Structures are given as C-alpha cells and as structure tokens.
C-alpha cells in the first residue's frame, strides 16, 4: 500500500491510499480519483515529505490517518445536495411510484415473478431469510436504505 498526498485543480489537498503507484495511475487515468471536496477528477500528486524512522525510535502504531480512496462524486454531491437530502428524495420517489405491501412483500414479489399476479412496483418488508430465498429463486429484489415510515417516530 502507498499513501499519496493529492491536490485537485482547485488546490484542495487530500490524501489517499493505493495498492501501488500503477494502481494510482490507472485509477487516475480512468477518472476514478476525485477530490472529496469538489468532485474534480483533475487530480495530481502533491509535494509530500517521506516518512523516515529515526534510529532507535519505536515503530508508530499507524502511519497516519487512513483516508479512503475517493470515488467519483455523484451529481447530487456535485450540486451540494447532502446524503440525507438525497436519501429523503429517494424515499419520496419510491413511495410515490410504488405500492407499500408491508410484510406481504416476499409473497407478492414471488407471485409477480411467477406471473400469477400482475407486475407493478412494490416495496415492503422481508426478513433476511425471505430476501435470500427470493434472490436464489431469481426474483429481482433490492434492500432499501431506509426503514418504512410507519416504523419511525
């Protein structure tokens, strides 16, 4: 692993870890190294000092704060929308365009997949065991990143 100090075109400085210098170069060339501040993919290595151990000094427990490799910013992040706002917008969109079927989710999803029930967008609740069984049967299901409104305060 190698840690680089990086700098975007807007002079935001940040650090990130990479498997190798080659991994950094290929990720940067593909536009996958982006500034966590502004989302710019115009990123270069910044000037950094090497970390040298003094003779007789104990090994540090870590070599500094670990900063995950930045991922390409989403359009929401580039527009200034927070994750909470994006999640609220997603929830509103799902609730507006699908039927809540509650605990009947697994049963209805299976029946729609089998063709015994007319297909329509639904959302609801299923146990992990039920969700796994649906996936094993080839029923396309996906966990939602929020809990139903009727289970929140």
Q: How many CA atoms lie within 13 A of 18 on its CB side?
A: 19
Task: Give the CA distances from residue 109 to residues 97, 131, 146, in Å, rounded to whole numbers and listed in that order.
Answer: 16, 10, 19
- Higher local confidence (pLDDT), 82 or 121: 121
pLDDT, position 146: 81
- DSSP assigned state of 119: -
Quickly count: other Cβ atoms within 10 Å of residue 88's Cβ: 13
% of the chain at pLDDT higher than 70 = 78
Query: Two tokens at 7?
Result: 């700098």
Question: How far is the C-alpha of 153 from the C-alpha of 117, rounded, in Å?
Answer: 33
pLDDT higher than threshold 50 for residue 67: no
- Higher local confidence (pLDDT), 34 or 56: 34
pLDDT, position 64: 44
Question: How far is the C-alpha of 30 from the C-alpha of 13, rounded, in Å?
Answer: 20
Quickly count: other Cβ atoms within 10 Å of residue 79's Cβ: 11
Query: Two tokens at 124?
Result: 């609801």
pLDDT category, 62, cuts 50, 70, 90?
very low
User: What contacts 24+ positions apart, CB below 8 Å, involve 46-49?
Assistant: 46/4, 46/5, 46/6, 46/7, 46/13, 47/5, 48/4, 48/5
pLDDT, position 76: 56
Q: Domain locations in the chain?
A: 2-73, 83-151
Summarize pLDDT for 20-51 with one digit per residue, the tens. Answer: 888 888 888 888 888 888 888 899 998 766 66
pLDDT category, 15, cuts 50, 70, 90?
confident
Question: How far is the C-alpha of 69 from the C-alpha of 90, rounded, in Å?
Answer: 26
Q: Which residue has the tokens 């809990």?
A: 147
Q: Hey, which of 51-60, 63-72, 90-99 has the most confident mean pLDDT?
A: 90-99
pLDDT, position 119: 93
């Amino acid at each position: 692993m190698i840690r680089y100090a990086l700098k975007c075109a807007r002079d935001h400085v940040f650090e990130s870890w990479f498997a190798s210098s080659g991994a950094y170069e290929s990720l940067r060339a593909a536009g996958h190294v982006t500034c966590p501040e502004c989302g710019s993919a115009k990123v270069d290595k910044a000037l950094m000092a090497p970390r040298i151990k003094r003779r007789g000094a104990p090994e540090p427990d870590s070599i500094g704060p670990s900063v995950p490799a930045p991922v390409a910013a989403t359009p929401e992040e580039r527009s200034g929308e927070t994750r909470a706002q994006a999640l609220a917008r997603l929830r509103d969109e799902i609730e507006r365009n699908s039927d809540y079927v509650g605990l009947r989710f697994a049963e209805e999803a299976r029946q729609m997949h089998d063709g015994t029930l007319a297909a329509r967008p639904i959302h609801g609740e299923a146990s992990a065991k039920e969700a796994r069984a649906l996936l094993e049967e080839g029923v396309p299901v996906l966990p939602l990143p929020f809990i139903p409104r009727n289970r929140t305060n």
